Amino acid sequence: MCGIAGYVGKDIVLPILIGALERLEYRGYDSAGVALIEDKKLIVEKRKGKIRELVKSLWGRNYGAKIGIGHTRWATHGKPTNENAHPHTDEKREFAVVHNGIIENYLELKEELLKEGVKFRSDTDTEVIAHLIARNYKGDLLEAVLDTVKKLKGAFAFAVITVHEPNRVVGVKNGSPLIVGIGEGENFLASDIPAILPYTKRIIVLDDGEIADITPQSVNVYNFNGEPISKDVMITPWDLVSAEKGGFKHFMLKEIYEQPKAVNDTIKGFLSTEDTIPFKLKDFRRVVIIACGTSYHAGLVGKYWIESFTGVPTEVVYASEFKYADIPISDKDLVIGISQSGETIDTKFALQFAKEKGAFTVGLVNVVGSAIDRESDFALYTHAGPEIGVAATKTFTAQLTVLYALAVRESGDRDNLIRLLEKVPSLMEITLNSSEEVEKVSDKYLKRKNFLYLGRYLNYPIALEGALKLKEISYIHAEGYPAGEMKHGPIALIDENMPTVLVAPQDRVYEKMLSNLEEILARKGTVVSVGLKGDKVLKEKSADFMEIPKVDEPITPFITVVPLQLFAYFIASKLGLDVDQPRNLAKTVTVE
**Site of interaction with ligand M6R (CB under 6 A):** 292-295, 339-341, 344, 347, 390-392, 468, 472, 585, 588-589
Which residue, 292 or 528, has its beta carbon nearer to ligand M6R?
292
Which residue, 393 or 542, has its beta carbon nearer to ligand M6R?
393
Write down the least CB distance from residue 389 to ligand M6R, Å. 8
Write down the least CB distance from residue 12 to ligand M6R, Å. 34
Number of C-beta neighbours around residue 291 at 10 A: 29
**What letter would DSSP give residue 206?**
P
Q: Which of 50, 173, 261, 587 is catalytic?
A: 587
Write down the least CB distance from residue 324 to ligand M6R, Å. 18
- Strand ranges inside 352-486, DSSP E: 360-365, 378-381, 450-455, 477-482
Axis crossing angle, helix 51-58 with helix 13-24, rounded to the nearest 10: 160
Q: Which of 348, 281, 307 is nearest to 592 (CA)?
A: 348
Q: Which residues pair with 529 in a beta bridge?
A: 502, 545
Which residue, 392 or 509, has its beta carbon nearer to ligand M6R?
392
d(CA 44, CA 274): 50
Which residue, 89 or 295, has its beta carbon nearer to ligand M6R?
295
Q: Is 245 a catalytic residue?
A: no
Which residue, 26 or 545, has its beta carbon nearer to ligand M6R?
26
d(CA 27, CA 19): 14
Which residue, 88 or 348, has its beta carbon nearer to ligand M6R?
348
Alpha helices in 65-213 (DSSP H): 106-115, 127-136, 141-149
Q: Which residues pair with 173 in a beta bridge?
A: 157, 210
Write down the least CB distance from residue 409 to ligand M6R, Å. 23
Q: What sign does the dihedral 575-577-579-582 (CA atoms) show?
A: negative
The length of the chain, given as a count of residues = 592
Write down the least CB distance from residue 190 to ligand M6R, Å. 17
Q: Is 2 a catalytic residue?
A: yes
Write down the least CB distance from residue 464 to ligand M6R, Å. 11
Q: Which of 2, 48, 110, 292 is catalytic?
A: 2
Within 8 A by CB and 6+ apart from 419, the residues are none
Write down the least CB distance from residue 256 to ligand M6R, Å. 12
d(CA 434, CA 439): 9
- The phi, psi pair for 205, rounded to 5°, reads -90, 120
Within 8 A by CB and 6+ apart from 76, the residues are 1, 102, 125, 591
d(CA 257, CA 435): 10
Residue nearest to ligand M6R (CB): 293
Which residue, 200 or 588, has its beta carbon nearer to ligand M6R?
588
Torsion of CA 348, 349, 354, 356, to 10 degrees: 120
Which residue, 292 or 527, has its beta carbon nearer to ligand M6R?
292
First-to-final CA distance of the chain: 11
- Tell me the Ramachandran region of residue 217: left when phi exceeds 0, alpha when psi lies from -120 to 50, beta otherwise: alpha
Q: What is the CA radius of gyration of the chain?
A: 25
Which residue, 312 or 362, has its beta carbon nearer to ligand M6R?
362
Write down the least CB distance from residue 283 to ligand M6R, Å. 26
> CA–CA distance from 236 to each of 188, 258, 369, 519 (Å)?
15, 19, 10, 52
Helix (H, G, I), strand (E, B) or coil at 259: helix
Which residue, 197 or 390, has its beta carbon nearer to ligand M6R?
390
Write down the least CB distance from residue 339 to ligand M6R, Å. 3
Sheet strands side by side (includes 156-162): 88-89, 95-101, 156-162, 169-174, 210-214, 219-223, 228-229
Q: Which of 267, 145, 265, 153 is nearest to 210 (CA)?
A: 145
d(CA 469, CA 451): 12
The answer to whether residues 68 and 14 touch, using CB atoms and an 8 Å cutoff, is yes
d(CA 287, CA 281): 7
Write down the least CB distance from residue 60 to ligand M6R, Å. 37
> Catalytic site residues?
2, 587
